[in-house]
Amino acid sequence: MSMAHMTTAGENEAARLDAEDPLAGFRERFVLPDDVIYLDGNSLGALPRATAARVQAVATAEWGTGLIRSWNSADWIGAPARVGAKIARLVGAAPHEVIVADSTSVNLYKLIVAALQSPLAKGRSVILSEPGNFPTDLYMIESAMATLGGRHRLELVPRDGLSDRMRDDVALVLLTHVHYKTAERYDMVAMTAAAHAAGALVCWDLSHSTGAVVLDLASARADFAVGCGYKFLNGGPGAPAFLYVAERHQSTVTSPLGGWMGHAQPFAFADQYAPAPGIARFLCGTPPILSMAALECGVDLHLEAEMALVEAKSRALATYFIDQVGARCGGHDLELIGPSRGAPRGSHVSWRHPQAYAVMQALIARGVIGDFRAPDAMRFGLTPLYLRFTDIAQAVEILAEVLTTRMYEAPRFQVRQAVT
Amino acid sequence: MSMAHMTTAGENEAARLDAEDPLAGFRERFVLPDDVIYLDGNSLGALPRATAARVQAVATAEWGTGLIRSWNSADWIGAPARVGAKIARLVGAAPHEVIVADSTSVNLYKLIVAALQSPLAKGRSVILSEPGNFPTDLYMIESAMATLGGRHRLELVPRDGLSDRMRDDVALVLLTHVHYKTAERYDMVAMTAAAHAAGALVCWDLSHSTGAVVLDLASARADFAVGCGYKFLNGGPGAPAFLYVAERHQSTVTSPLGGWMGHAQPFAFADQYAPAPGIARFLCGTPPILSMAALECGVDLHLEAEMALVEAKSRALATYFIDQVGARCGGHDLELIGPSRGAPRGSHVSWRHPQAYAVMQALIARGVIGDFRAPDAMRFGLTPLYLRFTDIAQAVEILAEVLTTRMYEAPRFQVRQAVT
């Protein structure tokens, strides 16, 4: 992917934007293959350079040599709260309001059931969300309702009708702050206030927001939140997730998964469960330390960057990307999905195309890695810590070529793989 | 810890037993610190030599270079079923009856709720377990009952009364096959048959059994089981756990945690949940790949050993240990807990002592690492793949010295740490 051919005004602009980028220095902190333009860091964040060595040290020194002693001496036991407190700084929460545990899905279940069973939801039966929310959010609502015995009802209301639907039968509003496909972004302050005005609780899924946009759960007075470790936090494949419970709720809600690590005295080995004080009651089983160590590296790296700069660069990358696609890929049936140029958004850009799957396969074959999202979306993640404007310029160049030459029509790009 | 002083008959016997040990070659496959006799592999198994390099390769090659593509190209997506199928060989199950997911605690919750909600438990309200079962087993029963709305009742019956209590109001019997403290071991075939005769379902917790004793879930006609990855399977701290659902139940039970990875078509991104066919419906969120890779190394190593030999060596180590303690530590208030010499047991040995905590601290200071289990038990794990009879001889030598010199009375050994 030589840049010798790049001479347009757009490309010169890219070089200028890179030169002015205050976050440019972060790129070298990541391992990135030379032959790839990685636009999928919102699905799996790239590997920080520090991580492999850290994971190696945890395996050989802490596990191999320290053995069982490392639960104390290397503070493995403190990892969920320690890493949680670091993530709290990225989401605008107090250190003791966030803990790392389990997966996003499991954490959703904990918080949905905890909310529905809390005194605050008494006499209310409706859970509000939107159609097309990330599937596992909707599935975990279904799961929670099924376990709780059919006393609740899920209503999926398109986002422009949500505020109107917030009435006094609503127990919980569960929304994904940045939409996984469209990058549409809720006004967290306004939406939380609307829910609270109706007496409802709010749980925010921050999976596509954390490490991508400025978050302030405290100002929004959010009740609950969950988020993912393996996207913008660069915690590694299947990294542990996190959850947030506002301090004011911590003594009144309990986890439906009251495992031994959430016990007030795990090592008293008592027959009866007694929840730990505070956020620790939302722990369940033993935390996966190798994966936790990788997550901590990703979070530590993020904490070096100012989130306002990260969000500003994300916005600039998106604007540049949209402009370049507009300028160079016209007449090829691409339709921008989600927020228009310059509007508030998350940190990815998606286009609809009748052959979205095949076009994405052709792009991947050319080294431009994005995501296909059924049925017809191509999604490109914009990760401000390791993407350059010149990467976007090259990606658009290759996209234009794939579309113009119709190389995506080759049979090898048309056959669907089982998974991506 | 020179062995120059070792000249007793017991020690000569240890050397002879090591020389005859068919599993002796496995020891060099593990990383073990020189200054430690590790008798806690039932709490955290030692690091296999292959693991650190494998985890490094997953981080740098699969994650760093492969990035999102590795879900397909490195078959990350297949890891839960692939590693599950390997563990199936260690527990006497069919490959498609076991899957790796989440923690033991979360898996307990899934199976308890699934069992109680299944048609097979209809009209039955009692869950049977025993007092002093591993805490999280009891806590997850409490959790399941609380979520299901108080329709069920937990009865804790001492093990010699369990068979008599199996009547037609019992929905589920949940027992830990090998007791975490005493190493007492249930007759799985007889107990399962007794439960089935009363029309009850059985879930076995195999945390202290898997990789330690011969297991045959198929012959026992067990309904459900869970197990731990970080003990005898040497999967690393907080390794993912596994669960088993007998094939005959797989289409009639559903997970209360119906996350997107357990969906029939996770990448269709449908709003409505539809459980995957078979054991895959018991997946929930995205699996932690680094921790999963470490677990697979431990399991692969175990599959090289014949389980009958592993169990025979475990028994021989226990017998030797008990005999040596009897011969060398008499008159020091040690009381063997659990099965007597030669009786069926799991792969650890525990003694009661009025100063158990302090004695264990003194032993650890001398390099003999076991566990204290409240209120008064010293527990020593016997891991046949990497322990020698001479290790046991040395450990007993040190134990005798600690007891004889009363070094455990030093103040530094008396102060309880928060966790071990």
Residue B48 has pLDDT above 70, yes or no: yes
Residue B45 has pLDDT above 60, yes or no: yes
Domain annotation covers residue B3? no
Query: CB contact, 8 Å: B260 with chain A?
Result: yes
Mean pLDDT, rounded, for B115-136:
97
Q: Show which of B270, B286, B303 is a domain's final residue.
A: B303
pLDDT at A7: 57
| Residues A291 and A312 placed together within one structural domain of the fold | no
| Residues A314 and A285 placed together within one structural domain of the fold | no
Total structural domains in chain B?
2
Query: CB contact, 8 Å: A274 with chain B?
Result: no
pLDDT at A3: 44
Residue A206 to residue A208: CA distance in whole angstroms: 6
| Residues B41 and B108 placed together within one structural domain of the fold | no
| Residues B209 and B337 placed together within one structural domain of the fold | no
Residues of B in contact with A387 (CB under 8 A): none
pLDDT at B3: 44
Contact between B153 and B127 under an 8 Å Cβ cutoff? The reply is: yes
Query: CB contact, 8 Å: B53 with chain A?
Result: no
Contact between B321 and B380 under an 8 Å Cβ cutoff? The reply is: yes
pLDDT at A420: 42
pLDDT at B418: 52
Residue B27 has pLDDT above 90, yes or no: yes
Domain annotation covers residue A368? yes
| Residues B209 and B115 placed together within one structural domain of the fold | yes
pLDDT at B7: 58
Task: State the best of A54, A113, A147, A387 to mutate against chain B, taking most chain B CBs within 10 Å.
Answer: A147
| Residues B355 and B292 placed together within one structural domain of the fold | no
Rounded percentage of chain B residues whose pLDDT exceeds 90 = 93
Query: CB contact, 8 Å: A373 with chain B?
Result: yes
Mean pLDDT, rounded, for B313-340:
96
| Residues B268 and B160 placed together within one structural domain of the fold | yes
Instruction: For residue B258, give its domain range.
Output: 75-303
* Residue B134 a catalytic site member: yes
Residue B257 has pLDDT above 50, yes or no: yes
Query: CB contact, 8 Å: A140 with chain B?
Result: yes
CB contact under 8 Å between B260 and A136, yes or no, is yes
Mean pLDDT, rounded, for B11-31:
96
> Using one digit for the tens of pLDDT, what is the confidence trace for B374-403?
899 999 999 999 999 999 999 999 999 999
CB contact under 8 Å between B55 and A268, yes or no, is no
Task: State the best of A271, A283, A371 to mutate against chain B, taking most chain B CBs within 10 Å.
Answer: A271
> Using one digit for the tens of pLDDT, what is the confidence trace for B270-305?
999 999 999 999 999 999 999 999 999 999 999 999
Domain annotation covers residue A357? yes
Query: CB contact, 8 Å: A67 with chain B?
Result: yes
Domain annotation covers residue B355? yes
| Residues A207 and A137 placed together within one structural domain of the fold | yes
| Residues A108 and A164 placed together within one structural domain of the fold | yes
Domain annotation covers residue B67? no
Catalytic member of B110, B124, B185, B231: B231
> Using one digit for the tens of pLDDT, what is the confidence trace for A124-173?
999 999 999 999 999 999 999 999 998 999 999 999 999 999 999 999 99
Q: Show which of B257, B284, B303 is a domain's final residue.
A: B303
pLDDT at B2: 43
| Residues B339 and B278 placed together within one structural domain of the fold | no
Task: State the best of A29, A38, A54, A68 to mutate against chain B, taking most chain B CBs within 10 Å.
Answer: A68
Q: Which residues of chain A carry a pLDDT beneath 50?
A: 1-4, 6, 419-420
CATH code: domain of residue A150: 3.40.640.10
Please compute, for residue B31, the number of CA atoms within 13 A of its CA located in the half-sphere on the CB side.
Answer: 19
Q: Show which of A251, A273, A303 is a domain's final residue.
A: A303
Contact between B278 and A138 under an 8 Å Cβ cutoff? The reply is: no
CB contact under 8 Å between B238 and A289, yes or no, is yes
| Residues A318 and A286 placed together within one structural domain of the fold | no
Rounded to the nearest angstrom, the minimum Cα separation between A156 and chain B is 10
CB contact under 8 Å between A290 and B418, yes or no, is no
Mean pLDDT, rounded, for B338-362:
96
Residue B417 has pLDDT above 90, yes or no: no
CB contact under 8 Å between B261 and A44, yes or no, is no
Domain annotation covers residue B68? no
| Residues B371 and B288 placed together within one structural domain of the fold | no
pLDDT at A166: 97
Domain annotation covers residue A419? no
pLDDT at A1: 43
CATH code: domain of residue B21: 3.90.1150.10
Domain annotation covers residue B419? no
pLDDT at B416: 76
